[in-house]
Structure 1
Amino acid sequence: MNFPLKSIVYALLGMIGLGLMTEAAKARDQKKSGRVLRHVVCFKFKENAKPAQIQRVEREFAALKKKIPQIRAFEMGTNNSPEGLDKGFTHCFVVTFGSEKDREIYLPHPAHKKFVSILKPILEDVFVIDFWAGGD
């Protein structure tokens, strides 16, 4: 069997086109469903962390929204639960993405890595959970 080069090129282009259309359809369906990916991060700071250091962490984390375009929304707050089940975690941050690909860009992003380097010296523990919200 001898296939002409032209046929092979057309077949490859067709497969690439189909792959691109599939990815575009996934993204379109995700947008239609109104689903977003929530990245929830809770911090427990070291006992010797100074209020000014914690405030800097809050500012730097919030500033990531302007530095990383894949972040759709950012929310933060401190624990206000009367249940006493916080296990020492005082701060909660919710970063919203449109897709897992957006999160994949965010995690190794230089601005995120710089933020982590500011956070680490005063961080006792961290809890992270991601989930899909909205839509059906």
Structure 2
Amino acid sequence: MIGSITKGSDFSGCVRYALAVDEPGKEARLLYAEGVLSDTPQDIINGFECQRHLNQRVQHWVGHISLSYSPEDSAILTDEKMVKFSLEYMERMGIKNTQFIIARHLDKEHPHCHIVFNRVDNDGKCVSDSW
């Protein structure tokens, strides 16, 4: 597994990318969501935006992780295992007590998923980026 972590300030673009909204030829599945009220892209974006206002000092409130696996793992990497591995990864990185989604992309030969999370946690504190 290879992880790539970035941060930014555009929930709309990141969520729309993770869910492959308006991207012809790309297929994505929302595998898991926590802390959001609905599974529609706009509702997810709205929920993230609402929570980020709990802490005005955080300048880059969007967290994005891409987890990529070997093409050889395709046959055994079910959606459930991808969620399990993603949750373990987040726990080890200290990303907890916040909103997030996990979406699987099906457009490449190697299995991969995207985790979009709010760097403003449920208590208004900043999720550390000192990984």
Q: TM-score, normalised by structure 1?
A: 0.35
Flag the structure with larger Rg: 1
Q: Report 1 or 2 for greater relative contact order, CA contacts < 8 Å, sequence distance ≥ 6.
A: 1
Q: TM-score, normalised by structure 2?
A: 0.35
